[in-house]
Amino acid sequence: MDPQAYCQAKAASSGSSFYYAFRFLPEAQRRAIIALYAFCREVDDSVDECSDPGVARTKLHWWRSEIERVFEQRPEHPVGKALAEQIGSYNLPKEYFLEIIDGMEMDLDQHRYQGYKDLGLYCYRVAGVVGLLSAEIFGYRNRQTLKYAVELGQAFQLTNILRDVREDARRGRIYLPHEELQRFKVQEQDILSYQHTAQVQALLQSVLQRARSHYATALSLLPDEDRLAQRAGLIMAAIYQATLDEIERDDLRVLERRVSLTPVRKLWIAWRTARRISRDPAAHG
């Protein structure tokens, strides 16, 4: 299969909010960001879809080697080939790709986090670094946009953690920091057995508000002159924030069911956000 077609199929099949944001990018940027997203999906699937940690670790090691080959212009995988086509067009540091793999590997070694500081490193590697690479592809004039990109990545990952808390618990993972469980008097077993107690409700509400705080900080960091260029990230932020709204509207019952937006609603939010930014790039809200 053609490398770009492979990446396109990988992105489309995921149903991710990212895919809807990509639709509003110029062709060259869309090809680059879809290649990046397909890479993230491949390394993530290497961990999440593999029941044997040893095999998963071997797959991640292979991807480390593939990234080396990408930057030597001799990739083997369709995603690697698609990435290799973009290296010369955008500032995409090899170290960032390796750090994303480091983040995925943390899921093999660490299923609990003591505090938000520890969780922050994980969020930075699996989402903040992706934000930095995305910002390079989208383009920017003010380097403060890179701070926005990292902060937005933190917000995205906290949203994912809240939305996927049941699925993660099924895998034996609890990303909610231990210090927060203690503060709200929540037992690990409450999470692992999907118990929606009053204490769990308070904990989840705290996580939701923290995620919203990260969105507010990220949006305050984005310089007006880069809002149009970073439109795809703002579209993703709008979709993710709508997901938070739905989670809250559902009384934070994420341990009972997974909340998600319909494809039509995601597309509507994407179109509406893109239209608003195109009309007035400096307008917020």
Mean pLDDT for the chain overall: 92
| Final residue before a domain boundary, out of 58, 83, 109 | 109
What range does the domain containing 9 cover? 1-109
28, 278 Cβ separation under 8 angstroms: no
Place 48 in a pLDDT band, splitting at 50, 70 and 90: confident
Q: How far apart are the C-alpha atoms of 2 and 215, rounded to whole Å?
A: 37
Shared domain check, 132 and 86: no
Q: Quick one: 77 and 134 in the same domain?
A: no
Final residue before a domain boundary, out of 52, 78, 109: 109
Same domain flag for 170 and 247: yes
Residues 95 and 231 in one domain: no
* End-to-end Cα, the chain, rounded Å: 42
- 152-186 confidence digits (pLDDT tens): 999 999 999 999 999 999 999 999 999 999 999 99
Percent of the residues in the chain that have a pLDDT greater than 70, as a whole number: 97
Instruction: State the pLDDT at residue 283.
Output: 62
- pLDDT given at position 282: 65
Q: Are residues 131 and 236 in the same domain?
A: yes
What is the predicted pLDDT for the residue at 14? 65
Band (pLDDT 50/70/90 cuts) for residue 52 is confident
Which of residues 52 and 132 earns the better pLDDT score? 132
Q: Are 44 and 36 in contact (CB under 8 A)?
A: no
Q: Is the pLDDT at 50 greater than 80, yes or no?
A: no
**Counted domains in the chain:** 2
Q: How many CB atoms lie within 10 A of CB 250?
A: 12
69 and 54 in a single domain? The answer is: yes
Cβ–Cβ < 8 Å for 151, 214: yes
Give the CATH number for residue 273. Answer: 1.10.600.10
Q: What six digits make up the tokens of 275?
A: 């239209």
Cα distance between residue 176 and residue 158, in whole Å: 9
Chosen domain end from 89, 109, 129:
109
Q: How confident is the model at residue 12 (pLDDT cuts 50, 70, 90)?
A: confident
